């Protein structure tokens, strides 16, 4: 995937259905709630690992699970706003690091292709030189 084709993932607002489900399961302010936040798209290969590292750098004490395009955050309501800000920051950091990795991979691929072309040109010149030395007389 080229870096220009990667669209940064974003956390979508909670759907009304999920808000209702959370309200219906409410029993206590101090209860642990698992809140599913949908991403704007399914993460590409490699992004989830980068996200996990970014998340644990942001907030290692709060569990989050990525299931396809849904981030499931488990925390109490009193810390939800600050933890959600950490979640947004981790998604943004993962986007940036993933995009940087794509650029690096593209640069490495271009360098490899350039080396292969140079090797081929050198070999072609060697073939020409060897053939030019043949005496057909």
Is residue 27 included in any domain, yes or no? Answer: yes
Is residue 48 included in any domain, yes or no? Answer: yes
Please give the distance of CA 20 from its chain centroid, rounded to a whole number: 30
Is residue 118 included in any domain, yes or no? Answer: yes
pLDDT tens digit sequence for 119-130: 888 888 888 889
> How confident is the model over 38-67, as a mean pLDDT?
92
Residue 68 belongs to what domain range?
A: 3-132
Q: For the chain, how many structural domains are there in total?
A: 1
> How confident is the model over 73-94, as a mean pLDDT?
94
Is residue 117 included in any domain, yes or no? Answer: yes
What is the C-alpha separation between 46 and 67, in angstroms, rounded? 14
37, β-bridge pairs: 71
Is residue 58 included in any domain, yes or no? Answer: yes
Q: What predicted TM-score, i.e. pTM, was given to this entire model? A: 0.76
Is residue 137 included in any domain, yes or no? Answer: no
* Least confident interval from 25-29, 80-84, 95-99: 25-29
Is residue 29 included in any domain, yes or no? Answer: yes
- State the pLDDT at residue 1: 53
| Long-range pairs for 128-133: beta carbons < 8 A, 24 or more residues apart | none
Is residue 35 included in any domain, yes or no? Answer: yes
């Amino acid at each position: 995937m080229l870096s220009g084709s990667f669209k940064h993932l974003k956390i979508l607002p909670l759907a009304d259905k999920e808000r209702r489900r959370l309200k219906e399961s409410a029993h206590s302010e101090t209860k642990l709630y698992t809140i599913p936040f949908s991403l704007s798209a399914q993460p590409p290969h490699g992004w989830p690992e980068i996200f996990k590292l970014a998340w644990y750098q942001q907030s290692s004490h709060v569990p989050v699970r990525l299931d396809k395009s849904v981030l499931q955050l488990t925390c109490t309501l009193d810390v939800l706003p600050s933890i959600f800000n950490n979640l947004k920051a981790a998604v943004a950091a993962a986007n940036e690091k993933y995009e940087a990795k794509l650029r690096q991979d593209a640069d490495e691929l271009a360098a490899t292709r350039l080396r292969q072309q140079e090797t081929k040109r050198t070999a072609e010149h060697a073939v020409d030189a060897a053939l030019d030395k043949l005496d057909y007389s």
